[in-house]
Amino acid sequence: MITKVVHGWRPAGLLAYLLGPGTAEVHRSPRVIASWDGLDAGWQPERTGPSEYDLRLGPLVDALHAPAVAAGLPTRAPCNGPKRGYVWHCSARLAASDRTLDDGQWADIARELLDGAGIAERGDPGGPRWVAIRHADDHIHIAAVLVRQDTGRRFWPHHDYPKLRSTARAIEQRLGLIVTAVADDTAARRPGRGEVEKAARQGRGPARPELRRAAREAAIRAGGPEAFVTELRAMGYRAELRRGPSGDALGYRIGRAGDLTAAGGQVFYSGSKLAPDLSLPQLRRRWAQNPGRPSQAGRPSSAEAENVVVRARVAVGASDAREGVDGIAHATGDVLAALTAIDTTNKHGWTDAEQRYERASRAPGGQVPDVGPVGAELRVLARRLLAARGFRGKDAAGSVALAIALAGLMQEIAAWQRDRDRAHQAAAADDAGARLRAHHLPQRDRVPASSPVRGSGRERARFSREPGSASQVVSESEAGMTRRSTGPRP
């Protein structure tokens, strides 16, 4: 069950839409199925004409809106007031393969969602007024006015989004519906429609994904806020630190040249608006874990990079691994970001893999995890690659063995995340590994990215100790994984 919440200011407009013919899809037999006072279908508007959409909405609108009117709240968004309106609109939609529920079941779901989200608790007669409306087989809409009936006070629900998500999962399990993934705060902010349309007019991509890549690259290079902003400016971006009265850096903002508002001002984004792990507090956490700058280490060879990746894969695949995998996953994202920065033409597929892997690098909650010793090796590798702008020798970003080693590491990370019910991150890691394999391997040699079956940590450790190059280690490990694809996971 997928739930979505938006806020508005006009109950009348929302009800007219929900009980009307619809725009994105045709509304069929729109009807009220539940209400705040238990009358439920008794609040169905009277028909005034031959069409199923000819309904007298006035009585329902007036009743639902009455507490807000008594509180003196506006019916339209104020020019200089809060952006979020007091009308809480939630949609709840089932998966296409789920069975069809009847109106009574949907009415119970509406009450459970409202109670779980802290909007309208069961047994609270003074709570807000709300109605649930159904106009399709697979979903309902809930419209609530966030004003208490007993006190006339407007209120804001506390953490209603995650609570709603948890309640929806409980409903799925109880009713035997398709279980959706846990909301984990690992997704990066997507560009809004205005950003996309503006970028299209300018003939370039949206700003937010580009700025996110730039911030991640600068974070790998830098060791603190000042150096971070310096790196961003050197890359051609507008960047500023936000300081407190003491002069300490509290945050930062970044924009790209030529991205201006209608009034001619620079458009900026804070780090937290780009991705959860790119806020300044999370960057400070990252920098506090970083080893010394790799200026003396020199340019790495692709074989060195491959060996680091193989060691990380062995660590993730070890059956006794308990800690440090989140750090390895995050640091793997750094390596991909570095390879993407080097391979500017995406000749070797690093950009595609980095974009798909991004969410897999974040731990639930979006915090930068403790990196651990193996993750620290990956971070040092990423910084060396950026500092030297590539590898020693002529194989630069074109090592097939390195790509396959990274794909194998991503598959191990995906399996580890899947075991911990992290469906979003596991899917991202699988997708990224599949992209690398598709780019570097012929079809007959590819290992299915979705396979959760892996060799044991003991076997991987044996591979890593045997003589031979890292590419041989990867080839042996890949072959072993293919042969064991029908067996149980250790």
pLDDT in tens, 437-456: 888 776 545 455 444 434 43
Looking at the predicted structure, is the pLDDT value of residue 120 above 90?
A: yes
Question: Tokens for 169?
Answer: 């999962």
> 282: pLDDT confidence band, cut at 50, 70 and 90?
very high
On the 0-12 / 13-18 / 19+ scale of CB atoms within 10 A, 483 is exposed
Task: Report CA-CA distances (Å) from 107 to 113, 167, 172, 311.
Answer: 10, 15, 15, 54
Kindly report the pTM of this predicted structure.
0.65
Taking a C-beta distance cutoff of 8 angstroms, is the pair 124, 37 a contact? no
Give the mean pLDDT of 344-371: 84
Rounded Cα distance, 92 and 357, in Å: 29
> 181: pLDDT confidence band, cut at 50, 70 and 90?
low
Of 460, 470, 448, 462, residue with least CA distance to 490: 460
Looking at the predicted structure, is the pLDDT value of residue 56 above 90?
A: yes
Q: What pLDDT does 81 receive?
A: 65
The residue among 251 and 367 whose pLDDT is bigger is: 251
The residue among 488 and 21 whose pLDDT is bigger is: 21
Q: What is the identity of the amino acid at 228? A: F
Distance of CA 459 to the CA centre of its chain: 34
Give the mean pLDDT of 376-380: 92
Q: What pLDDT does 344 receive?
A: 72
Looking at the predicted structure, is the pLDDT value of residue 17 above 80?
A: yes
Taking a C-beta distance cutoff of 8 angstroms, is the pair 34, 131 a contact? yes
Percent of the chain whose predicted confidence (pLDDT) is above 90: 53
Looking at the predicted structure, is the pLDDT value of residue 132 above 50?
A: yes
Rounded Cα distance, 309 and 307, in Å: 5
Question: Tokens for 23?
Answer: 């725009």
* Contacts of the segment 240-245: beta carbons below 8 A, 24+ positions apart: 240/268
Q: CB atoms < 10 A from the CB of 161, how many?
A: 15
The angle subtended at Cα 357 by Cα 356 and Cα 362, nearest 5°, is 130
Q: What pLDDT does 159 receive?
A: 84
Q: What pLDDT does 24 receive?
A: 77
Rounded Cα distance, 153 and 298, in Å: 64
What is the per-residue pLDDT across 313-350, written as a single tens digit (0 to 9) for each?
999 988 555 568 999 999 999 999 999 888 777 777 88
Question: Tokens for 324?
Answer: 């440090």
Q: Give the single-character DSSP code of 485.
A: T
Beta bridge partners of 4: 91
Give the mean pLDDT of 137-147: 96
Rounded Cα distance, 435 and 350, in Å: 9
Looking at the predicted structure, is the pLDDT value of residue 298 above 60?
A: yes
Looking at the predicted structure, is the pLDDT value of residue 471 above 60?
A: no
Flag the least confident range among 130-139, 207-216, 297-306, 380-389: 297-306
H-helix or E-strand spanning residue 121: none
What is the per-residue pLDDT across 192-202, written as a single tens digit (0 to 9) for each?
778 888 888 88
Taking a C-beta distance cutoff of 8 angstroms, is the pair 402, 302 a contact? yes
Q: What pLDDT does 203 receive?
A: 87
Q: What pLDDT does 11 receive?
A: 93
Taking a C-beta distance cutoff of 8 angstroms, is the pair 253, 270 a contact? yes
> 393: pLDDT confidence band, cut at 50, 70 and 90?
low
